[in-house]
Amino acid sequence: MMDIMQPSSGGQSPPLSNRKPNRVLSGPSLVVKCLLVAACCLGSACISLRHRQASTSGGGDQTPDPQPPTVERRFSDADEWAKRFEDPKRDEWQQPEKVLNLLSIAPGAKIADIGSATGYFPVRLSRAAPAGMVYGLDIEPDMVRYLNRRARDEGLTNLRSILAEADDPKIPERVDLIFLCNTYHHIGRRVDYFRARQADLRPGGRLAVVDWKPGDLPVGPPPGHKLAPERVISELTEAGYALVMRDESLPYQYVLVFQPTHRWDPQR
Ligand SMILES: C[S@@+](CC[C@H](N)C(=O)[O-])C[C@H]1O[C@@H](n2cnc3c(N)ncnc32)[C@H](O)[C@@H]1O
């Protein structure tokens, strides 16, 4: 075993029999040095534990998460999810025509739907913008497969689904509208994520967020998964947007529309 207090002698350790144990193992300076080394080890162990705790969502750490909550959940089986997302009863509370009217979709609009899933809104958006283009972006390969097959089966040539990454939706060209329904709360590091989305917008482009109202509702996720509209507004304000429209006339969801506050820059 190496003696941590023994000075190196050109890489050669003296034979054990030549060592002077009393000089090495006794004296007040040794005690002080040992205490110092122990304190350093303890200190660095504490720092690495804090870093580990801060980088996980587990409890116990006092470091506040700057952007909670993000609901991480997989939506891997599109056929199964379609039973819920495409349930005709959804129309009663989702009121898709009202949402499209609120958004005033131009016939030639280019639109990106982040979290497009099985296409509930992308299909309707593509019909509202027959001379435009709708991109459905989702991180689940099975959702992308499902929506592309649906677009083909329903003859929607202006609808294409693309596989997104969690921190980059991969919008293939600048669009007039970025739209999210019930997906905003699934996105992580939202301020950075949406700040970067400004580069995906054309001049005058908008960002629309439809998400669940807080509280215990007969449809949608549990209350702890929901974000109050004020929270969305404050995050997107920080990300460089201004609220231009707020509507809460749907029974279970709010509709918020934003535009970037900066002047449009072709270099971005
Ligand atoms: C609750 S579903 C909403 C589906 C759809 N917008 C609707 O209203 O029917 C959320 C969808 O967002 C997708 N999703 C989650 N995080 C995402 C991310 N970071 N980027 C793109 N899609 C994401 C999921 O795979 C899922 O298909």
Q: From the CB of 144, is ligand 1 less than 6 Å away?
A: no
Distance CA 197, CA 181 (A): 16
Radius of gyration of the chain (CA): 28
Which residue's alpha carbon is nearest to atom 4 within ligand 1? 117
State which of 67, 74, 75, 211 you would mutate to test the pocket of ligand 1, scoring each by most atoms of that ligand within 8 A of its C-beta: 75
Atom of ligand 1 at shortest distance to CA of 113? 6
Percent of the chain beyond pLDDT 90? Answer: 66
33 or 48: which leads in pLDDT: 33
Q: How far is CA 145 from CA 47, 77, 141, in A?
A: 45, 11, 6
Ligand 1 and 139: CB distance under 6 A: yes
Reported pTM: 0.77
What pLDDT, in 10s, does the model give residues 79-93?
Answer: 999 999 999 999 999
Ligand 1 nearest atom to the CA of residue 86, by list position: 9
Ligand 1 proximity of 171 Cβ (cutoff 6 Å): no
Q: Pairing relation of β-strands 159-163 and 175-181?
A: unpaired
175 lines ligand 1 (CB under 6 A): no
Could you identify the atom of ligand 1 that is nearest to the CA of residue 73? 15
Q: What is the pLDDT of residues 181-237, one digit of tens each?
A: 999 999 999 999 999 999 999 999 999 999 999 999 999 888 888 999 999 999 999
% residues pLDDT > 70 (the chain): 72
CA 6 to chain centre: 52
pLDDT digit string, tens, across residues 225-256: 899 999 999 999 999 999 999 999 999 999 99
Taking 70 as the threshold, does the pLDDT of residue 123 lie above it? Answer: yes
Q: Is 115 in the pocket of ligand 1 (CB under 6 A)?
A: yes
Domain-by-domain residue ranges, the chain?
16-54, 78-260
Question: Is any ligand 1 atom within 6 A of the Cβ of residue 137?
Answer: yes
H/E stretch holding 113 reads strand 110-114
Q: Which ligand 1 atom lies nearest to the CA of residue 188?
A: 19
Protein residue closest via CA to atom 23 of ligand 1: 115
What is the chain's mean pLDDT, rounded? Answer: 80
pLDDT at 5 > cutoff 70: no
pLDDT of residue 223: 87
Strand partners, 256: 209, 246
Q: For residue 166, what pLDDT is reported?
A: 96
CB 246 within 8 A of CB 192: no
Could you give phi then psi for residue 196, rounded to 5 degrees?
-65, -25
* pLDDT of 267: 64
Q: What is the pLDDT of residues 54-110, one digit of tens each?
A: 222 222 333 444 445 677 778 889 999 999 999 999 999 999 999 999 999 999 999
Give the domain 78-260 fold. Rossmann fold (3.40.50)
